[in-house]
Structure 1
Amino acid sequence: MNLRPWLTPTRPAQIEVVTDPTARRGIGIEIAIVLTLTFGLSAASSLLSIIEDLLSTEGLGGASVALNSSSSDLGLIDFFRQLLSATKLFAIAALGIYLIWRAGVPLARIGFPKLRAKFDVGLGAGLAALIGIPGLGLYLVARALDLNVQVLPSNLDETFWRLPMLVFSAIANSAAEEFVVVAYLITRLRQLGWSENRSVLFSAVLRGSYHLYQGFGAALGNIVMGLVFGRVFQRTDRIWPLVIGHALIDTVAFVGFALLRDHLSWLR
């Protein structure tokens, strides 16, 4: 098996490098604005969170964070707040798609919108297993070494809408991250003439940075995930396997924890 195309891929010729200085400056400004409004501020907030945990008396290992938290004691209000939060993530994904199209890049270059069910679902499931299973092991090791906070995938109350909402949130998280941090960002960096390795590294470090609030193990795991997912996108020009794989990982984590919370004390 020839690994060179995976280790040192060439930038696709179909995406032209923008050479006009004004246009290049515009792309750079656009990237800065998009990342600031989406995941850049999350990265800054994550940095503050981990500093706060490190400076606390209990340390990083004594801290905890819930990924899906109840936001109201009133069930109906909580439902609509969860719905709005997920909808915002889908809007972020839509922004990434729109800006790729607005830049003159055919959406087919990212494998959107057509879904190749057998290929995309199969590869997505494979990516979920490749990242999810070792990721659980990394979390346990990081917890044992006090390098991670205790991550609670959900603490939503037991309502009839809890499980569907957790699945919806998992898909929303996946769509926002993969369409912006991978598809949009790598496409625009290609237009700036960045190498494939440089662009995938930038994308992966960004992904790790906004997960830093979960601890150093989570940040490292997400950097690895970003490298793998980004390279698969670069080699296949398909975004759907990434969205599917990420959604499967989050769905198993969110729903599995909600259903088996009382039997998962070993994860804490």
Structure 2
Amino acid sequence: MSANPDELGAAPHATPLEALTIVLICFGLFIAASLDTASSWRPGAANGFSDAGFDHLVRLELILAAIALFLLRGRAYPLRTLVPQPSLRGMVEGALLCAAVFLLDGVVALMMPSFGTTAIDEMLAATMVTWSSTIPAMVVNGLYEEVFLMGYLTRGMRRYGASTAIGVTLFVRVLYHSYQGPVGVVSVLLCGLLFGLYFQRTNRLFPLVFAHIVIDLIAFL
């Protein structure tokens, strides 16, 4: 199940109902949990990431991905267009995207005043994980998010214009990262915008997946 660049550009459009259904399946639980954390968090209330939590995340994303892909297959969606195509060039471009994201994060940190301790700060401070759970979790999560956000949603919304396609995807991405607080949300917004513009121009999915995985792994160093 593979695709060449021309096939990637020919992926079918998504109807609003289909897109909403896939978004709710793939990201609905994460959006609800993130918004709940953002709205109810109090200092000292956040738990850190754990091996058990990462293992649960992998299982959950694999199950949700299977459901979404099953529904798309039933609609005769060409699933091959959602498969990232690994390449050395893609790794180089992914590394450059990763560097650009960290540069943007640095700019955000300098430009935005401190908002004090946030939920994500406490979660990272209390995190105790091993590489045996972190690496699989970050690989699966990077694939999961970019395949369904960029490969499916952004591409599927292009019939409504590039700005709409990128904007809808950004909105979803920010919603399920809202628990990260104001600075984190701005960083996610800029990262998502960079990813959206890159994908709109190149239509290459693998560099985004690679960049996402590397960014997450570095965050847990």
Match in the other structure for 1:39: 27
1:189-243 CA distance string (max 9 Å, x none): 13xx210111101101211111111111111211111111112112111110000
- TM-score, normalisation: structure 1: 0.66
- Structure 2: distance between partners of 1:243 and 1:125: 11
Match in the other structure for 1:130: 100
SS of 2:191 mapped into structure 1: helix
Match in the other structure for 2:85: 114
SS of 1:155 mapped into structure 2: coil
Letter in 2 for 1:129: A
Match in the other structure for 1:73: none
Matching residue within 17, 36, 49 for 1:29 = 17
- Structure 2: distance between partners of 1:194 and 1:95: 26
Contact kept? 1:233, 1:239, Cα under 8 Å: yes
Report 1:77-116 matches (<5 A).
78=52, 82-93=54-65, 99=72, 103-105=76-78, 107-108=80-81, 112-115=83-86
- Structure 2: distance between partners of 1:143 and 1:101: 49
The 1:199/1:65 distance shift into structure 2, 3 A limit, reads farther
How many residues are aligned here? 211
- Structure 1: distance between partners of 2:19 and 2:200: 19
The 1:33/1:15 distance shift into structure 2, 3 A limit, reads closer
- Structure 2: distance between partners of 1:52 and 1:221: 22
- Structure 2: distance between partners of 1:103 and 1:139: 45
Calculate the aligned-residue CA RMSD, in Å: 3.1
Match in the other structure for 2:146: 178
- TM-score, normalisation: structure 2: 0.79
Letter in 2 for 1:107: R
Contact kept? 2:149, 2:169, Cα under 8 Å: yes
Match in the other structure for 1:20: none
Structure 2: tracts of 5 or more residues without a match: 1-7
The 1:50/1:88 distance shift into structure 2, 3 A limit, reads closer
Q: Between Structure 1 and Structure 2, whose CA radius of gyration is higher? A: 1
Matching residue within 252, 257, 261 for 2:218 = 252
Deviates more, 1:32-41 or 1:193-202: 32-41
- Residue 155 of structure 1, CA deviation: 2.0
Contact kept? 2:19, 2:153, Cα under 8 Å: yes
Say yes or no: does 1:168 pair with 2:168.
no
SS of 2:85 mapped into structure 1: coil
- Residue 106 of structure 1, CA deviation: 7.1
Report 1:34-73 matches (<5 A).
34-53=22-41, 56=42, 58=43, 64=46, 66=48, 68-70=49-51
Say yes or no: does 1:188 pair with 2:156.
yes
- Residue 42 of structure 1, CA deviation: 2.1
Kindly, what percent of the aligned residue pairs are identical?
Answer: 24
- Structure 2: distance between partners of 1:96 and 1:37: 7
Match in the other structure for 1:6: none
Matching residue within 168, 172, 175 for 1:202 = 168
- Structure 1: distance between partners of 2:202 and 2:101: 18
Report 1:220-235 matches (<5 A).
220-235=186-201
Letter in 2 for 1:248: V
Q: Which has the higher contact order (CA 8 A, sep 6+)?
A: 2
- Structure 2: distance between partners of 1:89 and 1:148: 26
- Residue 94 of structure 1, CA deviation: 5.7
Contact kept? 1:89, 1:173, Cα under 8 Å: yes
Contact kept? 1:167, 1:251, Cα under 8 Å: yes
